């Protein structure tokens, strides 16, 4: 028989949880059980790969310490990775005993959370150990407490060796009917491989670099498309210019939806058209690209757009009216 212990505390010398799991280990080894211990604080960069160790054991002990509230981040991460990457079929046959001590408050809540989490994963939960420890020296030297811990170890051994059955719980039904849709449908081999990739910083970094490279590539492609579209608009304006016009005027037209300003400078038969700024233009207007396209296509006059309110402008009103004469818009 093999039992794995996953310790989610910080490894402090005075942590009473360490005393409990050491005592459990001592008793289990006397019963010829192979005990493997994994300190999550030492494995924090590769917690995802620890889900592979679940395949080699018959039962596990989830041990943590409540220092403030809850089961701690490392233990939560381990459970999250079990949900994502562990072999669910094997978990359904795996026994788990929670061990929680607290020097503040919430040891029973944390123990319940571990039990509930394991039920949601589809595993089999056993009665665990939860204790409030005010003085770790008194706790560790109390023979009655030692006796209770030893009996818990023996109970866990009997439960696993006899493969005791448990009654079905609603948590398992919830997992089967509701939560299954949100999990990755992967084979055990794929889940194991994925957990390796997740814990490999080099692989993750390379993936991020590839994503950034693709993002930049698409941005450049999008930028080229926008540049072509912008140049096409300028060419459209120039194609509508009436070379016989003798009007001299300048317009600054801000297109709000594309956040660009078109400057049009007409000097008799010459036309300059570009994107930029001209604060001293005769007419400073604001509209949308769609409205401006309609004006160029002759569907709407510059003056009518101003009168209807779809184009706002300030400056020389006579020059504003002259816009329709500078271009062949009909």
Residue 73 has pLDDT above 70, yes or no: yes
Question: Does residue 243 have a pLDDT over 90?
Answer: no
Residues 251-272: tens digit of each pLDDT = 999 999 888 999 999 887 788 9
Report the C-alpha gap between 289 and 299 in whole angstroms: 14
- Owner of token pair 């060419």: 235
Domain at 235-326, CATH class: alpha beta
Residue 183: φ, ψ to 5°:
-100, 160
Domain positions in the chain are 2-199, 235-326
Instruction: Label residue 210 by pLDDT band (50, 70, 90).
Output: confident
The residue whose two tokens read 């009655």 is: 144
Contact 283, 319 (CB under 8 A): yes
Instruction: Measure the CA–CA gap between 56 and 45, rounded to whole angstroms.
Output: 21
Q: Do domains 2-199 and 235-326 have the same CATH topology?
A: no
Model confidence at 46: pLDDT above 80 = yes
Domain 2-199 has CATH 3.90.226.10: no
Mean pLDDT of all residues in 227-248: 82
- Please answer whether residues 100 and 114 qualify as being in contact, where contact means their C-beta atoms are separated by less than 8 angstroms: yes
Please say whether the dihedral angle defined by the alpha carbons of residues 208, 210, 213 and 218, taken in this order, is positive or negative.
negative
Name the residue with tokens 């706002």: 312
Q: How does pLDDT run across 124-139, given as a tens digit for each residue? A: 999 999 999 999 999 9
Angstrom CA distances, 65 to 89, 185, 243, 317, stand at 29, 33, 85, 78
The answer to whether residue 178 scores a pLDDT higher than 70 is no
pLDDT at 220 over 70: no
Distance separating alpha carbons of residues 88 and 192, to the nearest angstrom: 12
How far apart are alpha carbons 55 and 90 in whole angstroms? Answer: 7
pTM of the model: 0.59
């Amino acid at each position: 028989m093999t039992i794995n212990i996953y310790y989610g505390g910080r490894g402090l010398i005075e942590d009473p949880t360490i005393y409990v799991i050491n005592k459990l280990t001592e008793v289990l080894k006397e019963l010829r059980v192979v005990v493997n211990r994994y300190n999550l604080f030492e494995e924090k960069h590769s917690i995802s790969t620890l889900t592979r160790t679940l395949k080699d054991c018959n039962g596990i002990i989830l041990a943590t310490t409540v220092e403030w509230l809850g089961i701690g981040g490392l233990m939560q991460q381990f459970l999250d990775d079990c949900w994502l990457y562990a072999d669910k079929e094997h978990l359904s046959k795996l026994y788990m005993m929670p061990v929680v001590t607290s020097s503040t408050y919430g040891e029973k809540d944390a123990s319940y959370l571990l039990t509930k989490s394991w039920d949601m994963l589809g595993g089999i939960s056993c009665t665990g150990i939860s204790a409030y420890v005010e003085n770790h020296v008194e706790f560790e030297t109390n023979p009655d407490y030692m006796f209770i811990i030893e009996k818990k170890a023996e109970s866990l051994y009997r439960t696993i060796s006899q493969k005791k059955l448990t009654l079905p719980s609603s948590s398992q039904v919830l997992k089967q009917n509701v939560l299954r849709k949100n999990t990755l449908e992967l084979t055990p081999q794929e889940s194991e491989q994925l957990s390796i990739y997740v814990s490999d910083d080099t692989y993750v970094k390379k993936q991020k670099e590839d994503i950034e490279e693709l993002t930049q590539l698409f941005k450049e492609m999008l930028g080229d498309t926008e540049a072509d579209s912008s140049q096409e608009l300028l060419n459209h304006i120039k194609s509508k210019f009436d070379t016989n016009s003798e009007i001299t005027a300048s317009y600054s037209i801000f297109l709000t939806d594309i956040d660009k300003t078109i400057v049009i400078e007409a000097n008799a038969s010459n036309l300059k058209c570009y994107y930029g700024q001209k604060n001293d233009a005769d007419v400073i207007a604001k509209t949308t690209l769609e409205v401006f396209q309609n004006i160029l296509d002759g569907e709407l006059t510059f003056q009518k757009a101003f009168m209807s309110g779809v184009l706002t402008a300030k400056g020389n009103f006579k020059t504003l009216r002259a816009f329709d004469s500078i271009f062949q818009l009909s």
